[in-house]
Structure 1
Amino acid sequence: MDHAEVLLIGGRAGVGKTTVGWEVSARLRAARVAHAVIDGDFMGAVHPPPPGDPHRADITARNLAAAWGNYAELGYRRLVYTNTVAVLDDAAPMFRRAMGDGVRLVRVLLTATDETAEQRLTGRELGSELAHEVRGSARKARLLEERAPADVVRVVTDGRAVIDIATEVVAATGWATGRCETTG
């Protein structure tokens, strides 16, 4: 495979993006599919935001390009990337710049009800951010529902085991063909 492929896993806070991303990686490892994993939330984790970059988009793009450049140099061609809004059309140019114009984007939007997201966030947010995260999660859920393109695969996470969700997400990629893949 000469071109790069990226699985973009998006969704509101509390939907299970990181957990599903790691389970997707486990499923791909079991199928011996070479890949890299990046949690996009960490690509722009600086404070304060860089001058002229209030939403941390530029630093995120620079960090993605640097990390992917390292993976690609080692022969990797597939990336699992988790981030709330990664499935939106606005994100596609960042991946094309970092991974090449021919990159294949597989976009999966994980969904959950307000009740499920709040329950998960309550278990996760042990510090001072719970109320902020719950409000932000509801806001992002509305944004994603309004702006996610029709071709984005939507996967409901309410009441489902992470293994089942990950199996559905991996199926959307077509990557786990049962053959061994190396990085070179």
Structure 2
Amino acid sequence: MNSFATQEVLLIGGRAGVGKSTTGYEVSRLLRAASVSHCLIEGDNLDEVHPAPEGDPHRSRITERNLAAVWANYAALGHRRLIYTNTVSVLESELVTRAMGGRTRVVGVLLMAGDATVAARLGARERGSGLAEETVRSARGARLLEREAAGWVVKVTTDGKGVVEVAREVVAATGWLDGSSR
């Protein structure tokens, strides 16, 4: 997005059960194997607070504050590439860019999967009372993301694919392995 960017972020978004976290960790493994400096932040952990902070019902301000704090620590170590996974990350590029201090090249990837794939993944992951709620939220999230994702966001389907194949498609979108990101 910005040709004068001093840092880069890969946003991995998608509905619950699509494979964001798993893909993020696999992308990190691929980049480590290629000696590409980066860090990974699982965004779902940045707003895990109940009740929501006063005046922040969607927890976006606490997410931004926490992301800024963690990123500042990574940036102080010299990191300039971030992998950020979060359901709606591809809709919040401005929030992420602000948290990173601006001048950030953004690559967005929306992972997509059908209802049957997601149901199987959520069924294997969720225990207790969370499955029904997570299934409903996932379907609602899929509709929102499909409708609201910007044209620059790359869509990658995860149905019938292994995580390594998906991660390779995601890394290809960044250009980080072939040097075309700058």
Q: Is the 1:17–1:83 contact (alpha carbons within 8 Å) kept by the matching residues of 2? A: yes
Displacement of 1:100: 2.8
Which residue number in structure 1 is paired with residue 158 of structure 2? 157
12-21 or 94-103: bigger deviation: 94-103
Partner of 1:118: 119
| Aligned pairs (5 A) from 1:163-178 | 163-177=164-178
Match in the other structure for 2:21:
18
Normalising by structure 1, report the TM-score. Answer: 0.93
> Does the CA-based 8 Å contact 2:5-2:104 persist in structure 1?
no
1:3 aligns with 2:3: no
Q: Which residue of 2 aligns with 1:84?
A: 87
Q: Distance in 1 between matches of 2:85 and 2:102?
A: 20
CA distance in 2, matches of 1:152, 1:110: 10
Shift, 1:172, TM fit: 0.4
Question: Any unmatched runs of 5+ in structure 2?
Answer: none
Moved over 4 A (4+): none
Aligned equivalents of 2:130 and 2:25: distance in 1? 24
The residue identity in structure 2 corresponding to 1:23 is E
SS in 2 for 1:155: strand
Q: Distance in 2 between matches of 1:97 and 1:168?
A: 27
- How many pairs were matched up? 176
CA distance 1:2–1:139, shift in 2 (3 Å): closer
- Residue number in structure 1 paired with 2:99: 98
Structure 1 regions of 5+ residues with no counterpart? 179-184
Q: Following TM superposition, by how much is the alpha carbon of 1:145 offset from its aligned partner in structure 2, in angstroms?
A: 0.6
1:163 deviates by 0.3
Q: CA deviation at 1:125?
A: 0.1
What is the CA distance between 1:93 and its match in structure 2? 1.9
1:2: how far off? Answer: 7.0
Counterpart of 2:61 (choices 41, 53, 58) is 58
Question: Cα deviation per residue 1:41-73 (whole Å; 9 max; x = unaligned)?
Answer: 001011111111111111100000000001001
**1:4–1:100 contact (8 Å) kept in structure 2:** no
CA distance in 2, matches of 1:136, 1:95: 23
Q: Which amino acid aligns with 2:104?
A: V
Cα deviation digits, residues 123-163 of structure 1 (max 9, x gap): 00012100000000000000011001112100000010100
Checking the alignment, whether the CA contact within 8 Å between 1:31 and 1:177 is kept in structure 2 is no
Bigger Cα displacement from structure 2, 2-11 vs 161-170: 2-11
Aligned residue for 1:71? 74
Corresponding residue of 2:52:
49
| Partners of 2:5 and 2:103 within 8 A in 1 | no
Q: CA deviation at 1:101?
A: 2.4
> 3-state SS of the aligned residue for 1:48?
coil
Query: In 1, Cα distance between the equivalents of 2:96 and 2:138?
Result: 24
